């Protein structure tokens, strides 16, 4: 298995925040990542491949979220457009395949082209 994560620090921070907001969807928290993600025409499930990579290389970050630790809100989106995000998804999916992990399809989580 490849020793290195493809994810950049801003992608990690954003992904952790989006996962936290997804888990706590019915709580009155500031949903900064979700708003930005939806502005790209994406639903939260589109982040699944990033989460799969995080379980391999950044598990402690996800475990903290699962334990209830609230990560900082985000103020910028690491992907400037839906197409840039989908390019990164393709790269992460390929890495997952090469390392024996089934990637997730994201097509059902794309709401509109932005």
Tens digits of per-residue pLDDT, 52-109?
999 999 999 999 999 989 999 999 999 999 999 999 999 999 999 999 999 999 999 9
Gap between the Cα atoms of 65 and 54, Å rounded = 12
Question: Is residue 19 one of the residues assigned to a domain?
Answer: yes
**Residue 3 in this model has a pLDDT that exceeds 90:** no
Question: Is residue 3 one of the residues assigned to a domain?
Answer: no
Total of domains in the chain? 1
Question: Is residue 49 one of the residues assigned to a domain?
Answer: yes
Question: Is residue 2 one of the residues assigned to a domain?
Answer: no
What Å distances lie between residue 18 and 2, 23, 89, 100, CA to CA? 25, 9, 16, 25
Is residue 1 a contact partner of residue 100, using CB atoms and an 8 Å limit?
yes
If you search the block for the tokens 């989460």, which residue do you land on? 51
Gap between the Cα atoms of 20 and 65, Å rounded = 6
Question: Is residue 1 one of the residues assigned to a domain?
Answer: no
Question: Is residue 114 one of the residues assigned to a domain?
Answer: no
Question: Is residue 50 one of the residues assigned to a domain?
Answer: yes
Length of the chain: 114
Domain encompassing residue 56: 9-109
């Amino acid at each position: 298995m490849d020793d290195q994560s493809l994810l950049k620090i801003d992608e990690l921070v954003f992904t952790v925040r989006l996962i936290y907001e997804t888990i706590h969807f019915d709580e009155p928290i500031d949903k900064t990542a979700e708003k930005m993600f939806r502005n790209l025409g994406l639903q939260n499930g589109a982040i699944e491949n990033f989460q799969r990579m995080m379980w391999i290389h950044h598990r402690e970050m996800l475990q903290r979220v699962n334990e209830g630790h609230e990560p900082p809100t985000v103020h910028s989106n690491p992907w400037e457009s839906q197409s840039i995000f989908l390019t990164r998804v393709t790269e992460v999916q390929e890495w997952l395949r090469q390392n024996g992990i089934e990637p997730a399809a994201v097509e059902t989580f794309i709401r509109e082209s932005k």
